[in-house]
């Protein structure tokens, strides 16, 4: 079960890195200071937006699942008198 929390942390870390890169690309687009053409830059921003959202959502889902599972196990132990 602890593996699930580790995986949650890893997804969150990747999501944060994606968000950081996304911020950099959006700044480049606003400043008109980019080496890629505008279409490619907007495409990368769109893809990173989805990846950021998905990574953070997966991290939240895994964390929530882990916490619910821990709570359920605690209740079961309590009922069993362990």
Domain that holds residue 10: 2-80
Model's pTM, two decimal places?
Answer: 0.80
> What is the model's pLDDT at position 13?
97
Number of domains in the chain: 1
Distance (Å, whole) CA 70 – CA 66: 6
The pLDDT tens digits of the residues spanning 25-46 come to 999 888 876 666 888 899 999 9
pLDDT level of residue 2 (50, 70, 90 thresholds): confident
């Amino acid at each position: 079960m602890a593996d699930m929390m580790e995986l949650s942390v890893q997804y969150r870390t990747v999501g944060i890195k994606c968000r950081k890169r996304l911020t950099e690309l959006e700044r480049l687009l606003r400043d008109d200071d980019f080496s890629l053409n505008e279409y490619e830059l907007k495409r990368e921003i769109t893809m990173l937006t989805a990846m950021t959202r998905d990574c953070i959502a997966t991290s939240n889902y895994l964390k929530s699942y882990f916490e619910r599972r821990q709570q359920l196990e605690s209740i079961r132990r309590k009922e069993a008198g362990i």
